[in-house]
Structures are given as structure tokens and as C-alpha cells.
């Protein structure tokens, strides 16, 4: 769809089909990736996770929760991985269940970088980051919430192996039956840490200039697109979030450059979190339209959207699709509720992170 293209002025626009890269989607509603901390031992998905995603399969696209690409990529307890044979088999339960319901699902590839704790790292070692700068942030471990550990800086010699971990994780995702992947480069995690000058103080080819700080994300995106196809690859960005104690002195210039470089790869979509992560839509000076200009793929917007806001954003050509996060937790039938403009269930924050089926697969559906 051309930017700013005129569309019918009615409420059905959110429910019209769209081609996103290789994927034909029946509507413009995306389920955002939602960390729920319900993986089993070995960070393996289970039949409970399969039920959860299958319940929500009528969304145009499901983006499965952030999933670590390697053991060092883990930052929270009971989050799934995609680096072992057992994890691939567990995720196959999920994709089979979603496809049986006619759904489409991609996996978000995750490395948390410095937002981790030694208790979650192989051998109790320090987490890795672009630079050895500790975040003023907390993470969730067996004992509860704790301050993140001080990281060590990745060496230049380790970068090719890191890129290979993303490529292999993408291959594993396809082997597990996913329709594609989303590279998590947002919310203060590893790839975002490389992008920002507050967290990246390297003096080699991956630090300093905006071009150098963008290099790792571009190289990861190229490797993943080469592995699974550009038309099955998306990237998530959050230009203004401070989540994970992150900042940049020139976000507009940085993210304009990032999108320009990613546009050359002909990716399926970019998934943009507007403003502060978590639904905070306080106005901040940033020109999202300027950032989007070079990108020809689908443009997904996310952060605190409701039905009317979503319809208006697509009508105005500001977005091609809208991602909904927390509303999907409490409303497995959110797509139907949005279509019928029905009342939404309220979520229970006490069950958002960790636990069993309660607050996960037991929310009521309409009718």
C-alpha cells in the first residue's frame, strides 16, 4: 500500500486483508509479542503455550513472545529459547496448533544483552553488552526482582558468532514451523544497546558514528533474511523508549539512518513502538513519517492503541497494521471483539508474569 493511500472511510478497514512480504494476512490486527514467563524446564514451550496461542489465532498475525537465540541471550526466568532441539520441538506444538486454527505466526528473536543476571547466564558469567556499562534496571529471577548484573563488553572476535546465533535461531524457527521471524531491536535489549550512544561507547567498527552503531543490526538482519527470506523477516524498533535504561542523543538521525539501511534489505515489515514502551503515549518530538519514508514494506504501529485509534491510523495512512499487546492477554477473542466493537475483559496484572493456566488460557470468550 502506498503511504497515504486513500481507503474506504468505514470501520472495516482494520479487518481488510493485506499482503505482508510472503504472508497473506486476513486482517490488519497483530498480536504483539508478550513475555509471559511460562516456559517449562530447559526454557521449552509446552501444550499450555500451544493452547494460549491457538486461542488467539484469528489475529491477522501472531508475533510469539521474545525468545532467546542462545543461552547467553536470556534475561528473565522461564522465557523460551530457540537454540535447542527440545525448544524447537516445543515450539512445533505451538505452530501446529496455530496453523490448525488457520493462523499465521512469527517468532521474535531476542538477545537481552546487559538486561540479565549472572544467575541466568551459563556458568554464572557476566552478561554481554556493547560496552561494560551497567543498566539501572531490574530483572526477574528465581528469587524475584533483582538488579541486573554488570556486563562485559563483547569483543570484536565474538561478533561473527553472535550474528551466526541469530541466523541459526531463524533457521530453527522455520524448522519449528514459524511463518517468519521478527528481530527484536527494541526496548533496551542487545541490538538496541548497540544502536544507542548511551550504551555503545565502543571505538571499533561497531561504535562511534551512527553508521557504525547501526552495523550490527543491519548485519544480523541481512543474515536472517538470507536464511529465511526477506519476505519472512521483520524488525522491531522503539526510537523513544527509555526502557532498560537506554537513551540516544540524536534519536531522529539515528532511526532515520537505521530504517534507510533496513529498507535496502526489502524486509516484510517494521514494527514500531511509538513513545515510551508500555502504552505511554505522551507527546514527544519525533517525526515517525520521516523515519518511514524510505521503507517500502509493511509498517506496524504499536503502543496503547484502541479500536478507534487503530482504525484512524490506518485510514490516515500512518500504518498498515496495528499491534495490540495487553488487550490480547485478557481477550483471546480480541479480533472478534474489535470487529463487533464489543466490551473487553480486564486483565489481571498479578498473573501477567509466571504461573500456570490461570490468567493465561482461562479468560472468557464472547458467546
Residues known to be catalytic:
189
How far, in Å, CA of 132 to CA of 128, rounded?
A: 8
- Distance from the first to the final alpha carbon of the chain: 35
| Residue whose C-alpha cell reads 491510523 in the numeric block | 313
How far, in Å, CA of 198 to CA of 131, rounded?
A: 10
What is the separation of C-alpha 126 from the centre of its chain, rounded to a whole number of angstroms?
A: 24
What is the separation of C-alpha 262 from the centre of its chain, rounded to a whole number of angstroms?
A: 16
Burial class, 342, CB count within 10 angstroms (exposed 0-12 / middle 13-18 / buried 19+): middle
Would strands 321-324 and 128-129 be described as parallel, antiparallel, or unpaired?
A: unpaired
**DSSP letter, residue 47:** H
The alpha carbon torsion through 266, 269, 270, 272 (nearest 10 deg) reads: 160
How far, in Å, CA of 219 to CA of 288, rounded?
A: 24
How far, in Å, CA of 104 to CA of 36, rounded?
A: 20
| Diameter over CA atoms, the chain | 60
| Residue whose C-alpha cell reads 544467575 in the numeric block | 119
| Residue 347 · residue 330 · CB < 8 Å | yes
| Half-sphere exposure (Cβ direction) of 79: Cα atoms closer than 13 Å | 29
Burial class, 49, CB count within 10 angstroms (exposed 0-12 / middle 13-18 / buried 19+): buried
The residues with which 324 forms a beta bridge, in sequence order, are: 31
Alpha-carbon separation of residue 206 from 51, 212, 224 (angstroms) = 41, 5, 19
Phi/psi of residue 206, each to 5°? -110, 15
3 state SS of 332: coil
Amino acid at each position: 500500500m502506498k503511504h497515504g493511500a486513500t481507503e474506504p472511510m468505514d470501520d472495516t478497514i482494520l479487518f481488510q486483508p493485506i499482503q505482508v512480504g510472503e504472508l497473506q494476512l486476513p486482517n490488519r490486527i497483530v498480536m504483539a509479542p508478550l513475555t509471559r514467563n511460562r516456559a517449562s524446564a530447559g526454557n521449552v514451550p509446552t501444550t499450555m503455550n500451544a493452547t494460549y496461542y491457538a486461542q488467539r489465532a484469528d489475529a491477522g498475525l501472531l508475533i510469539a513472545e521474545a525468545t532467546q537465540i542462545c543461552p547467553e541471550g536470556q534475561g528473565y526466568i522461564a522465557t523460551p529459547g530457540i537454540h535447542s532441539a527440545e525448544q524447537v520441538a516445543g515450539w512445533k506444538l505451538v505452530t501446529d496448533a496455530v496453523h490448525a486454527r488457520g493462523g499465521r505466526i512469527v517468532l521474535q528473536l531476542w538477545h537481552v544483552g546487559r538486561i540479565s543476571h549472572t544467575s541466568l547466564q551459563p556458568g554464572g558469567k557476566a552478561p554481554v553488552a556493547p560496552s561494560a556499562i551497567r543498566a539501572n534496571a531490574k530483572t526477574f529471577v528465581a528469587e524475584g526482582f533483582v538488579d541486573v548484573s554488570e556486563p562485559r563488553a563483547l569483543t570484536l572476535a565474538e561478533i561473527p558468532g553472535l550474528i551466526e546465533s541469530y541466523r541459526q535461531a531463524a533457521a530453527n524457527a522455520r524448522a519449528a514451523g514459524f511463518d517468519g521471524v521478527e528481530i527484536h531491536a527494541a526496548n533496551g535489549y542487545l541490538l538496541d544497546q548497540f544502536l544507542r550512544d548511551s550504551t555503545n561507547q565502543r571505538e571499533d567498527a561497531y561504535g562511534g558514528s551512527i553508521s557504525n552503531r547501526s552495523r550490527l543490526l543491519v548485519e544480523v538482519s541481512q543474515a536472517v533474511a538470507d536464511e529465511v527470506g526477506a519476505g519472512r523477516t521483520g524488525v522491531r524498533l522503539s526510537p523513544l523508549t527509555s526502557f532498560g535504561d537506554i537513551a540516544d542523543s540524536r534519536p531522529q538521525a539515528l532511526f532515520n539512518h537505521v530504517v534507510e539501511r533496513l529498507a535496502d534489505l526489502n524486509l516484510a515489515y517494521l514494527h514500531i513502538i511509538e513513545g515510551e514502551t508500555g502504552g505511554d503515549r505522551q507527546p514527544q518530538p519525533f517525526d515517525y513519517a520521516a523515519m518511514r519514508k524510505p521503507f517500502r514494506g509493511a509498517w506496524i504501529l504499536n503502543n496503547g492503541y484502541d479500536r478507534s485509534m487503530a482504525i484512524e491510523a490506518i485510514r490516515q495512512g500512518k500504518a498498515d497494521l496495528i499491534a495490540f499487546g495487553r488487550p490480547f492477554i485478557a481477550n483471546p477473542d480480541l479480533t472478534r471483539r474489535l470487529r463487533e466493537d464489543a466490551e473487553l475483559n480486564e486483565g489481571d496484572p498479578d498473573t501477567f508474569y509466571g504461573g500456570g493456566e490461570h490468567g493465561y488460557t482461562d479468560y472468557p470468550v464472547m458467546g
